[in-house]
């Protein structure tokens, strides 16, 4: 809950993407001059990851300390309420047999943070004080830095609470199911009805001094230990493809420019075809393994901290390198994460390719919005994923609007089509029907979300219990 709040807050107060959302467990580490690992993105559509360490720059220096000159002031007052609601129903049957299923839900997230304060450093003074300073090359943290493909940054600004605060969440779900079975009027008539109600109330108290967001500057270290600070903007949105020297090697033929408003999804056909070729290795898994993986992933998709842990684990396994940072397994989903990894590691054939494919798939899933993740999870059935994959293939193959009758039958139902519209809308693609045609137009000014959604659908579709021809994922590339 805390992670969702910090991300929501950062999106609203920092449109330029310089601030980095903090996690609750990292708050005590986030002091001025704290050393923060920066792990470059592995795939071109991703973002760099920042992981605070337990050390500050002064812990690394050979001798002496740097005392930053700091400025602290009120930043903003934050008391807000976010509400959402939704409902749906399905009717099936005829005069003899009928089935009706309805569902509705609502949620409310309330933030009571009062005044947030901002603390930052005098950068010109820091630049002057750091000139000619050296770090201890024998320090364990520096040794890890010299061995790994990571960067070091220093915390230069942070935003934190000034008093005890609270975050509360209230959710309500309600569903009902009724069925009717009729025979000869004089012989048989049966009705059944059931209802389910589920309420959830969560409250999290936030101590004073809890860091919600921070920003960093890059630090380079020469072979003889001298440090140099770089004051170019850094943060979750400032990373550029060109800054990663291994970008072309890692991403190979999948590299493409950000898709822009007005583009057709058909323009992604070649890039997605290359990605789908990578996913074909997943269809070589046994039917039981694929179905189990999909069940476990459904449990993890909506839990971002667990999803992030799984992505990090897969990156370590697929790269074959020793982990530089080891996130703790989360209690609530740890068994699902462990079982997913055990299943993948137990595969005797193409194990490395399988791990890389799963890492790419879940890295794409991790880039989706919260709304996109919820909608995609609801489609994680054989029929749902197969229909979504068929739709993606149709959109990739045609630059012109689709005939309504060409859309997969499962998605032609009004309720399912509206869910598809919402799913694609969450990834900056406007899907609409006019007369007998369906249109799909990119609405974002720039970014990779439309492509990321197609990657996520294609990868998950490889895990359903069906042959290759059912989804068109691999057969089109053979």
pLDDT surpasses 80 at 126: yes
Distance CA(23)–CA(304), nearest Å, equals: 11
Distance CA(154)–CA(35), nearest Å, equals: 5
> Is the domain of 234 the same as that of 267?
no
pLDDT given at position 210: 92
Sign of CA dihedral 250, 251, 257, 261: negative
Q: What is the pLDDT of residues 175-214, one digit of tens each?
A: 555 545 454 444 444 454 555 455 556 778 889 999 999 9
Question: Is 477 within a domain?
Answer: no
Candidates 292, 263, 287, 200; CA nearest to 451 is 263
Question: Is 347 within a domain?
Answer: yes
Map tokens 């993407």 to a residue: 17
The number of distinct structural domains making up the chain is 2
Question: Is 478 within a domain?
Answer: no
Residue 36's alpha-carbon distances to 130, 214, 279, in angstroms, are 17, 11, 33
In sequence order, what are the beta bridge partners of 229?
219
pLDDT given at position 252: 45
Average pLDDT of the residues in 240-254: 40
pLDDT given at position 260: 62
Q: In this structure, how many other beta carbons lie within 10 angstroms of the beta carbon of residue 244?
A: 18
Q: What is the pLDDT of residues 356-384, one digit of tens each?
A: 999 999 999 999 988 899 999 999 999 99
Last residue of one domain, picked from the residues 186, 220, 243:
243
Candidates 77, 73, 72; CA nearest to 9 is 77
Question: Is 250 within a domain?
Answer: no
Distance CA(386)–CA(400), nearest Å, equals: 22
Torsion angle of C-alpha atoms 55, 57, 63, 65, degrees rounded to 10: -110
Mean pLDDT of the chain: 78
Question: Distance from CA of residue 1 to its chain's centroid?
Answer: 15
Query: Where in the sequence is the domain holding 189, given as residue range(s)?
Result: 2-243
> Is the domain of 270 the same as that of 367?
yes
Q: What is the pLDDT of residues 16-49, one digit of tens each?
A: 778 999 988 899 999 999 999 998 888 888 888 8
More confident residue, 11 or 117: 117
pLDDT surpasses 90 at 422: yes
pLDDT surpasses 50 at 216: yes
Distance CA(317)–CA(321), nearest Å, equals: 7
More confident residue, 386 or 111: 386
Q: In this structure, how many other beta carbons lie within 10 angstroms of the beta carbon of residue 31?
A: 15
Last residue of one domain, picked from the residues 219, 243, 267:
243
> Is the domain of 161 the same as that of 290?
no
Question: Is 251 within a domain?
Answer: no
CB 357 within 8 A of CB 313: no
Question: Is 248 within a domain?
Answer: no
Q: Is 119 left (phi over 0), alpha (psi -120 to 50) or beta?
A: beta
Distance CA(397)–CA(71), nearest Å, equals: 56
Q: What is the pLDDT of residues 44-65, one digit of tens each?
A: 888 888 989 999 999 999 988 9
Question: Is 289 within a domain?
Answer: yes
> Is the domain of 233 the same as that of 272?
no
pLDDT given at position 414: 87
CB 350 within 8 A of CB 281: yes
Distance CA(154)–CA(38), nearest Å, equals: 10
Q: What is the pLDDT of residues 50-109, one digit of tens each?
A: 989 999 999 999 988 999 999 999 887 876 675 655 544 444 444 544 445 455 556 676
Sign of CA dihedral 161, 152, 254, 458: negative
> Is the domain of 364 the same as that of 394?
yes
pLDDT given at position 243: 41
Alpha helices in 252-319 (DSSP H): 269-279, 287-301, 304-319
> Is the domain of 322 the same as that of 385?
yes
> Is the domain of 238 the same as that of 263?
no
Distance CA(384)–CA(377), nearest Å, equals: 10
> Is the domain of 272 the same as that of 218?
no
Last residue of one domain, picked from the residues 216, 243, 270:
243
Question: Is 72 within a domain?
Answer: yes
> Is the domain of 217 the same as that of 326?
no
> Is the domain of 180 the same as that of 34?
yes
Average pLDDT of the residues in 303-320: 84
> Is the domain of 227 the same as that of 270?
no
> Is the domain of 208 the same as that of 325?
no
């Amino acid at each position: 809950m805390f992670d969702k709040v910090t991300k929501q807050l950062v999106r609203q107060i920092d449109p330029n993407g310089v601030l980095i959302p903090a996690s609750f467990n990292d708050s005590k580490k986030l002091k001025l001059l704290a050393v923060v690992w920066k792990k470059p993105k592995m795939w071109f559509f991703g973002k760099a990851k920042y992981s605070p360490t337990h050390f500050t720059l002064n812990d690394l220096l050979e001798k002496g300390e740097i005392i930053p000159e700091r400025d602290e002031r009120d930043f903003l007052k934050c008391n807000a309420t976010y509400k959402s609601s939704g409902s749906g129903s399905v009717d099936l049957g005829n005069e003899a047999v009928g089935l009706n299923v309805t569902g509705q839900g609502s949620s409310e997230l309330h933030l009571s943070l009062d005044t947030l304060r901002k603390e930052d450093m005098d950068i010109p003074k820091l630049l002057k004080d750091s000139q000619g300073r050296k770090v201890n090359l024998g320090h364990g943290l520096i040794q890890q830095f010299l061995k790994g493909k990571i960067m070091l940054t220093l915390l230069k600004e942070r935003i934190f609470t000034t008093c005890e605060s609270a975050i509360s969440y209230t959710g309500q779900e309600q569903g009902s199911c009724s069925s009717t079975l009729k025979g000869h009027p004089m012989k048989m008539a049966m009705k059944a009805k059931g209802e389910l109600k589920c309420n959830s109330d969560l409250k999290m108290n936030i101590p004073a001094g809890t860091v919600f967001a921070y920003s960093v500057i890059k630090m380079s270290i020469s072979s003889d230990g001298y440090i140099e600070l770089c004051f170019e903007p850094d943060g979750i949105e400032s990373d550029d493809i060109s800054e990663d020297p291994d970008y072309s090697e890692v991403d190979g033929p999948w590299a493409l420019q950000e898709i822009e408003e007005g583009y057709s999804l058909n323009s992604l056909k070649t890039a997605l075809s290359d990605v789908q070729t990578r996913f074909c290795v997943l269809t070589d898994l046994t039917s039981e393994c694929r179905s189990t993986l999909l069940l476990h992933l459904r449990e993890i998709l909506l839990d971002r901290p667990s999803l992030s842990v799984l992505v990090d684990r897969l990156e370590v396994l697929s790269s074959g390198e020793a982990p530089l940072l080891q996130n703790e397994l989360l209690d609530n989903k740890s068994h699902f994460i462990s079982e997913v990894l055990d299943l993948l590691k137990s595969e005797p054939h193409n194990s490395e390719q399988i791990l890389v494919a799963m890492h790419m798939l879940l890295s794409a899933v991790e880039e989706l919005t919260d709304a996109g993740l919820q909608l995609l999870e609801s489609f994680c059935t054989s029929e749902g994923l197969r229909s979504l994959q068929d739709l993606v293939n149709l959109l990739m193959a045609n630059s012109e609007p689709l005939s309504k009758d060409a859309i997969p039958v499962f998605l032609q139902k009004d309720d399912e089509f509206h869910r598809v519209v919402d799913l694609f809308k969450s990834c900056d693609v406007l899907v609409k029907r006019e007369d007998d045609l369906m249109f799909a137009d990119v609405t974002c000014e720039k970014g990779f979300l439309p492509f990321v959604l197609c990657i996520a659908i294609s990868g998950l579709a490889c895990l359903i219990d069906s042959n290759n021809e059912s989804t068109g994922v691999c057969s089109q590339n053979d």
